Structure 1
């Protein structure tokens, strides 16, 4: 909202307050002189104000009283995507993954059952999950950039 719009809003607010105070004062003065006449005046004024309120609310909802939309903000500078980790597997039966590994079998004819929780055998050390290189070198070696669920590197 601009300063000019705030100034207009305050002016309308104070105008309404002044009109309301003058109206209440006039009704009190008339009521002191003639209570029946004050009742009739209050009824007519109430109907007029209700109709004006209805008209203003409809105009604000559907008419030209809409709020100006702010200008779109400047787009944020593009953030470069992190570099993909270098993943290397060398050796017979070696496995390397840049992320998590669910189940791996590097032996001949074995298939391990998936582990319920990601636990790595002592012989397998996963690489850190931070971006970087993941390397599995040597026969039946396993490396991952994330969690390893189940690994079997033997023939059993």
Structure 2
């Protein structure tokens, strides 16, 4: 079985993507759009020009499976579009017979991927053994969000 590495932006930020010279490496365009710093961008562009990485769009059914799993876990709001599509791409590749490894530092992605039978590996942080939901709370009005936001949508105060 051929191994497929599905990699999040953290894999480019750290240069981790370079550690898989003999595997097929995949990502989604939303991840590529997150790569803004010059060093990480150079890593991506060199890997892409050498044909070492493929940027694919996941299937609608894969996206639906990813969203359904996030809904079951109650963490849909915590996932970005890139997160949903990365998970969907991993599911699509697994359906095509690849042995998939998802590389990310996002604990929610680890949680969902493992629930769906996808192996995961951390970049800078180890894979969490237990998953605790992150909660961001406005100290002024008490607004709560699982999604990281800078300012409270209700009162405009900084979120911690």
Q: Which has the higher helix share?
A: 2
TM-score by length of structure 1 reads 0.21
TM-score by length of structure 2 reads 0.21
